[in-house]
């Protein structure tokens, strides 16, 4: 089939799903003429042995009828394939939710029981309880937002906010999680005040995801976070460069797809969500390995403060 497609690129060839196939093996329709073949044995090289009965007509009404019937069957095939994709996605979500949510929930139960049993250590257990609750909240938000993106119902709670302040708050939180590493986070903000109009909480989550991802793959060295205002494009640019192991070239082209970057400590939805959140704001996001072969840099842009109407944002991806 592929060879025939290359020979006649102007012809639209379609193959039906096995479950929808009819006894007719080949239909040629151009809406004015039509030909229907019955295949006896398509392994035969001789046409007369390979093809059985055939009908040909120049009736426009019959050709149009064939076209209508088979367009309907082809649409069923496309819908069937879409349903299979959604079914797989739903199963992935269920499996991830069951696996990822179990860990913080069990930790909450354990530390609550310890706090009740050991009054002298309550403060320590309460701190760990809070950590597990925050992780549970983050996982829940990721799974819910992924579902909203797939259904095209991600809504942005837009407001004007200071980008430098948001980045500083995120980095202060991230620094507490790298105390056991020989790793420092350096922030180089633009000297100018950068105001954005968008969903502050979700932009903060994008920065959390990218910086957290850099920390995960950098055992020692430095993570440098920079913000700048590109006056030519009127966009804010945030970049996060690390000195870690870099990005596998096999993963790089699909890095922002769902579940690609899944690890023991995450759902694999962080970068996928980041891409959709940035694009919902009218920006773009990308990643590249650093020159010299050490580490990688993630960057994203967001248009500078321009108040847009608050509408449901369609974020469907292929």
pTM for this one? 0.63
Sequence spans of domains, the chain = 2-79, 158-313
Task: List all residues 6 or more positions away from 209 whose beta carbon is below 8 Å from its beta carbon.
Answer: 270, 271, 273, 274
State the alpha helices, DSSP H only, in 176-264: 200-216
Residue 34 · residue 57 · CB < 8 Å:
yes
Q: What is the pLDDT of residues 62-79, one digit of tens each?
A: 878 877 877 787 787 778
In this prediction, residue 171 carries a pLDDT of 94
DSSP string, 239-260: EEEE-SS---TTTGGGTTSTTT
CATH class of 158-313: alpha beta
Task: List all residues 6 or more positions away from 52 whose beta carbon is below 8 Å from its beta carbon.
Answer: 37, 38, 39, 40
In this prediction, residue 308 carries a pLDDT of 46
Q: What is the pLDDT of residues 258-287, one digit of tens each?
A: 777 655 445 578 899 999 999 999 999 999
């Amino acid at each position: 089939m592929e060879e025939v497609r290359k020979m006649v690129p102007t012809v639209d060839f379609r193959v039906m799903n096995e479950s929808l196939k009819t006894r007719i093996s080949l239909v040629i329709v151009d809406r004015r003429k039509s030909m229907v073949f019955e295949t006896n044995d398509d392994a035969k090289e001789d046409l007369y042995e390979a093809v059985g009965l055939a009908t040909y007509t120049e009736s426009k009404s019959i050709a149009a009828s064939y076209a209508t019937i088979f367009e309907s069957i082809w649409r069923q095939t496309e819908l069937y394939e879409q349903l299979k994709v959604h079914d797989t996605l739903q199963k992935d979500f269920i499996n991830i939710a069951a696996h990822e949510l179990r860990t913080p929930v069990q930790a909450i139960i354990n530390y609550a029981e310890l706090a009740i049993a050991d009054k002298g250590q309550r403060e320590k257990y309460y701190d760990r309880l809070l950590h597990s609750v925050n992780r549970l909240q983050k996982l829940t938000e990721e799974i819910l937002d992924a579902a909203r993106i797939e259904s095209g119902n991600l809504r942005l709670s837009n407001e004007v906010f200071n980008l430098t302040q948001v980045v500083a708050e995120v980095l202060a939180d991230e620094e507490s999680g790298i105390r056991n590493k020989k790793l420092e986070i350096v922030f180089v903000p633009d000297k100018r005040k950068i105001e954005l109009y968008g969903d502050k909480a979700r932009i903060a989550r994008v920065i959390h995801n990218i910086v957290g991802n850099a920390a995960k793959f950098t055992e020692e060295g430095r993570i440098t976070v920079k913000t700048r205002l590109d006056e030519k494009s009127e966009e804010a640019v945030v970049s996060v460069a690390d000195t870690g192991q870099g990005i596998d070239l096999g993963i790089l082209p699909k890095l922002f797809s769902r579940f690609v970057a899944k690890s023991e400590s995450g759902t694999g939805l962080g970068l996928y969500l980041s891409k959709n959140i940035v694009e919902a704001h009218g920006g773009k996001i990308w990643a590249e390995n650093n020159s010299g072969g050490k580490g990688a840099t993630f960057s994203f842009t967001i248009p500078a403060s321009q108040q847009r109407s608050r509408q449901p944002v369609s974020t469907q991806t292929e």
